[in-house]
Amino acid sequence: MAAKTAQQIYDEIMAHARKEGGSLSNWYRGITSDIGTRLHSEHGVPREGHWFAWREAISSEHARSAEAALLRNGMDGGTGGGDNTALFVYAYKKTNITSP
């Protein structure tokens, strides 16, 4: 998967969340440098049978911009996570088996 701009990431993750059909407030989003550990180990998102999406950004600035846009448009989560190596933007549907 090729690295993407903030706008591309925002558009693709929003399209995926809208396909699910629920409220965007039921989604959590963030950024990380280690997508597998953060999404599946730390947040507890199953690798199969669960609504989630992630994209790699062309820079940490693009990752932060996409993350902020997802927050402004209704997804849950805080700001200020990650560091300058955080290139992955992710979002998942919150359930009783996931943790923010």
Encode 18-54: b = buried (16+ Cβ within 10 Å), e = exposed.
eeeeeebebbbbbbbeebeebbeeebebeeeeebbbb
Q: Nearest 5°: phi and psi at 56?
A: -95, 130
Strand order through the sheet with 88-93: 27-32, 88-93, 52-56
Please give the model's pTM, rounded to 2 decimal places: 0.94
* Interval 66-88: pLDDT, tens: 999 999 999 999 877 788 899 99
Q: Which two tokens stand for residue 88?
A: 């992955």
* Interval 2-14: pLDDT, tens: 999 999 999 999 9
